[in-house]
């Protein structure tokens, strides 16, 4: 069984993360836990000292916990498998705290919500964070919840490792979702359309591995151009799969243009 943890705050992005995970949970054997990492900021600015300050801080934290609990409860109506939230104590780096939790609990998938933005700054900041640079497990950045029938698009710049395919198959062992592979060659001269590349050398070993595990890749193609010229290709899928690209790289720019949920593999 896939062990999943969703980071939940009292906001819309978290609702999207929950709905996205629960949608997966309807076709994949998985547990869906929720965690909320209390932020040091949630203790607020000191308004006094001694017991007054302590009482006020406790109230702020309690309020935050109540909001998260209410949000999870409200989503449980549509997702019975959703577990009540686990609260992680505050720490300076939220990502470190979550990463430790994921490792110590042997989670196979981490899900967090992120509202897709036209301006990519926050996305770049996120994928440049220590958490994303050292992913403890596959991480789903949930941005929208389109139907699973829209399939999965795997983005690569030419090389797909067997380890990544193995990790992917660990999440989708029963081929519940159709998979396409798109090899992106970034350059100035965009080609008119994606070309068939089923025999591309960089991906052959991984594809063979995938097929030997009983999987099929619906389509393998290559596209050349700038991130902007490729944007239309990453707009209409259930999931986009990729490794975490370097911050501000061309692949990161392309991913920032996708409103689909993004599955990052370590």
Partner 1 sequence: MRILVALDQDMRSAHTLSQVTQLLVNTWANVTLLGIVPRKSDDGGVPMDFVDTMNQYHKAVLQGFAAEDLPYAPADDDYEIAEIRPGIYEKIGNTHGGIKELTVRIRVGNPTQTILEEAQDCGSDLIVLHGDMDSQQKIATKADCSVLIVKKERDTGRILCFLDDDLLSQRSLEMITQMAVLFNAEIEIAGLTDKQSVEEKIEKKLDWLIHYFNGKGIQPWIQLVALSYLEPFILEQDHWSLVTMWMGETSIFKRLFSVNKVAKLLESRKSSVLLLR
Chain contacts with partner 1 (rule: CB under 8 A): 11-12, 15-16, 115-119, 143-147, 228, 231-232, 235, 259
Cβ 233 to partner 1, closest distance in Å? Answer: 11
Cβ 132 to partner 1, closest distance in Å? Answer: 20
Nearer to partner 1, 137 or 252 (CB): 252
Nearer to partner 1, 36 or 116 (CB): 116
Nearer to partner 1, 130 or 235 (CB): 235
Question: Which spans in 179-241 are helix H?
Answer: 204-212, 227-230
2: number of Cβ within 10 Å:
18
Pick from 215, 263, 233, 258: nearest CA to 110: 263
- CB burial of residue 58 (10 Å; 0-12, 13-18, 19+): exposed
Nearer to partner 1, 47 or 232 (CB): 232
Task: Give the pair of three-digit tokens for residue 96.
Answer: 């470190």
Cβ 100 to partner 1, closest distance in Å? Answer: 29
The C-alpha angle with vertex 206 and arms to 202 and 211, in degrees rounded to 5, equals 135
Cβ 12 to partner 1, closest distance in Å? Answer: 4
Task: Give the pair of three-digit tokens for residue 212.
Answer: 């030997």
């Amino acid at each position: 069984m896939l062990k999943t943890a969703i980071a939940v705050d009292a906001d819309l992005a978290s609702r999207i993360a929950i709905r996205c995970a629960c949608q997966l949970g309807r076709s994949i054997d998985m547990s869906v836990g929720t965690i909320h990492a209390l932020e040091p900021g949630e203790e607020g600015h000191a308004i006094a000292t001694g017991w007054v300050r302590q009482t006020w801080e406790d109230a702020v934290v309690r309020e935050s916990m109540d909001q998260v609990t209410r949000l999870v409860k409200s989503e449980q109506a549509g997702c019975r498998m959703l577990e009540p939230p686990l609260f992680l104590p505050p720490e300076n780096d939220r990502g470190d705290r979550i990463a430790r939790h994921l490792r110590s609990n042997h989670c196979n998938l981490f899900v967090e919500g992120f509202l897709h933005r036209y301006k990519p700054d926050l996305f770049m900041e996120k994928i440049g964070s220590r958490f994303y640079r050292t992913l403890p497990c596959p991480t789903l950045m949930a941005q929208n919840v389109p139907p699973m029938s829209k399939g999965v698009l795997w983005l690569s710049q030419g090389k797909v490792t067997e380890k990544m395919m193995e990790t992917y198959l660990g999440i989708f062992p029963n081929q519940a979702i159709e998979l396409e592979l798109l090899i992106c060659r970034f350059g100035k001269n965009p080609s008119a359309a994606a070309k068939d590349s089923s025999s591309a050398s960089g991906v052959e070993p991984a594809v063979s591995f995938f097929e030997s595990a009983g999987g099929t890749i619906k389509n393998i193609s290559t596209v050349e151009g700038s991130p902007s010229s490729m944007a239309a290709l990453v707009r209409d899928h259930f999931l986009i799969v990729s490794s975490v690209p370097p911050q501000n790289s061309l692949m990161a720019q392309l991913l920032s243009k996708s409103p689909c949920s993004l599955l990052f593999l370590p």
